[in-house]
Structure 1
Amino acid sequence: MERLSVHLFGGFRADRGMPPQPLHLTRTAQHLFAYLLLHRRRPHPREVLAGTLWGETDDEKGRACLNTALWRLRKVLEPPPVPRGTFLLTTSSGEVGLNPDAPLTLDVAAFEENLRGVSAWSEATPDPWETSRVEKALTLYQGELLAGFYEDWILEERERLHCLYIDALTGLMYAHKHHGNVARSLETALRILKEEPFREDVHLVVMRLYQETGQRFMALRQYEKCRRSLEEELGIPPSEKTRRFYESIRPPRRTSSKPPPPLEPPDDAPLRHALATLKHALETLERVHRDVMEAARTVSRLFEEGHQSPPDGESSALGSSEPSEPF
């Protein structure tokens, strides 16, 4: 019998056979089938199914919607000659469930099985032999559960599986780090931050990995990303632990190198006063010199014209007509 392959991560998709042939199900049939797949370990009373999937309607209408969706789903899953009950079981009390022996594969089931026990991983006690199994499981997570569906029960399952996905990535990050595979550890850490940028513990791991590989600039830049994410997402600053590591790798602050203040010029008032006095004295001496020269020339001219000699004692005072310079 041809097997079914059902994918719920990233949206709803169901195929049958090889090569795969898509199954065409109505929206309500997809809704019902997804619920039965995600709660595959037990049958469900019809009133519970109707209340969960069509809770916005009254009981009678909800029950009618359930019967219609169940009929359409069975028509696609169990067309002749597929025996009735191959995929869908109905108990004597009317409960509906998925046949645990149904020939199908489900991405969510394989994902959960491969990640069993991963939440117990820690940085101190990674379980290396599980690494390949976890990596295989992570390839199945192709997006959020049943993208495009927004019913309450789907949102709850979506969050649960998303947390399991993040736990697996976190365990894998620490496992790679523990075994010295820095590149893989860093790659995994960045995948976590893409999903949850507010994870301060992962930011700190990234900072340390960058620092260990000599990429201090990248480590410092990661701190800024951490600080912005925490402020935008949670309205809080980084913890003291993160800040201490940042301070330990940050270049030392440059001390202030302001130039010294200019020296005050000396008080030059006395010098200016002396220079002014000297200038005034020189000007006065020059003026007196001119007056003496003019008077001497006048006296000489007058005595020459009158053929008189100067009074005794005055000639010596006159001296020559060109007295020497004062300096």
Structure 2
Amino acid sequence: MLTIQLLGGFKISQEGELLDIPLRPRGKSLLAYLLLHHATPQDRAHLAYTFWPETSDSQARTNLRRELHYLRRLSPLIAALISSDGQVIQGQMSERCTLDVSQFTSLLAAAEQTTDSIIRKAHHQAAIGCYGGDLLPGLYDDWVLVKREELRQAYIRLLETLTLLLVDERSYAVATTLSQRLLQCDPLYEAGYLQLMELYALQDNRARALHTYHTCVTVLERELGVPPGEETERLYQRLLHAEEHSSDGQRGSTATA
């Protein structure tokens, strides 16, 4: 079994053993592109323009030939992942090959298609397990940036959806962990702070909820120069007043005693 990981870093494992294949950045990006689009044959001219848009057509095609030659010489295993036929190049994924991005997107699609809430939840949990991090960190080709953001947003929506399901089940502790993961993925996502504040409040942990608010204020001001939105402020004020009432009640009980 060949396992290919693109989320959180480019890794290839065979029968559970991580392989040490010294892929250089451009070769890594090209191979990843072919594998992600393995269902569709890629025209050489399209690939050349995608990876070398600022060079002449002839130079871009030369660069593509060199990069493919480099990949094929690296390892027979890598060579087997690429096929070419005239003007067409295609990634090859056999039945004994798994790709984490494909697994992630397939699980999301399966969750959307089922009407069984238990099966949907299982698909969501499995998809979260597939997402090992951002797509191809350290690579900044245009296509990578677009696909990376697409997958990240899908992951964020997944975390939000599963968190709401867990809240309905009153599984607040697990929901809190997912909400924290969401903010690790996108520290500027204000809705994530709001969700986490609400979860702490549901667990009667106002101190953590207020701390989350102050973290939100600090991050948004430092990174974007903006304050939290009205909904976040309203929740903060409710939590603050609840804490004050709780403190007043405790002081009253002490005085009576």
Please, what TM-score do these two structures have when normalized by structure 2?
0.81
- Aligned match of 2:103: 110
Higher helix content, 1 or 2: 2
- Aligned match of 1:87: 81
- Aligned match of 1:186: 176
Residues in 2 aligned to 1:176 and 1:126: alpha-carbon distance in whole angstroms: 16
Residues in 1 aligned to 2:215 and 2:17: alpha-carbon distance in whole angstroms: 46
Structure 1 residue 28: deviation in Å? 3.7
- Match of 2:138, SS? coil
Deviation string for 1:198-247 (max 9, x for gaps)?
Answer: 33322222222222222222222222222333333333333333322222
Change (3 A) 1:101 1:195: closer
- Aligned match of 2:159: 169
Residues in 1 aligned to 2:222 and 2:62: alpha-carbon distance in whole angstroms: 47
- Aligned match of 1:260: none
Residues in 2 aligned to 1:16 and 1:184: alpha-carbon distance in whole angstroms: 33
- Aligned match of 1:267: none
- Match of 2:136, SS? coil
**Pairing partner for 2:218 from 217, 222, 228:** 228
**Pairing partner for 2:135 from 128, 131, 145:** 145
Residues in 2 aligned to 1:233 and 1:118: alpha-carbon distance in whole angstroms: 35
Deviation string for 1:77-126 (max 9, x for gaps)?
Answer: 647xx9x9x533334x5211123546421111111111226689xxxx99
> Considering only aligned residues, what root-mean-square deviation do their CA atoms show, in Å?
3.0
- Aligned match of 2:43: 45
Alignment of 1:1-327 (within 5 A): 3-17=1-15, 19-76=17-74, 78=76, 87-91=81-85, 93-101=86-94, 103-116=96-109, 127-251=117-241, 252=244
Residues in 1 aligned to 2:13 and 2:187: alpha-carbon distance in whole angstroms: 35
Could you list the runs of 5+ residues in structure 2 that have no partner in the other structure? 248-257
Q: From the CA coordinates, give the structure whose radius of gyration is larger.
A: 1
Structure 1 residue 34: deviation in Å? 0.9
- Match of 1:97, SS? strand
- Aligned match of 1:271: none
Residues in 1 aligned to 2:238 and 2:195: alpha-carbon distance in whole angstroms: 15
- Match of 2:179, SS? helix
Structure 1 residue 73: deviation in Å? 2.7
Residues in 1 aligned to 2:75 and 2:97: alpha-carbon distance in whole angstroms: 11
- Match of 1:115, SS? helix
Q: State percent identity of aligned pairs.
A: 31
Residues paired across the two proteins, number? 243
- Aligned match of 2:253: none
Please, what TM-score do these two structures have when normalized by structure 1?
0.65
Residues in 1 aligned to 2:76 and 2:207: alpha-carbon distance in whole angstroms: 61
Structure 1 residue 144: deviation in Å? 1.7
Structure 1 residue 46: deviation in Å? 0.6
- Match of 1:211, SS? helix
Structure 1 residue 47: deviation in Å? 0.8
Residues in 2 aligned to 1:88 and 1:155: alpha-carbon distance in whole angstroms: 23
Whether the 8 Å contact between 2:111 and 2:123 is mirrored in structure 1 is no
Change (3 A) 1:241 1:10: closer
Change (3 A) 1:210 1:87: closer
Structure 1 residue 186: deviation in Å? 0.9
Deviation string for 1:154-195 (max 9, x for gaps)?
Answer: 111111111111111111211111111000011111111222
- Match of 1:116, SS? helix
Q: Which has the higher contact order (CA 8 A, sep 6+)?
A: 2
Deviation string for 1:36-63 (max 9, x for gaps)?
Answer: 0122221111111111112232222221
Could you list the runs of 5+ residues in structure 1 that have no partner in the other structure? 255-327
Structure 1 residue 32: deviation in Å? 1.8
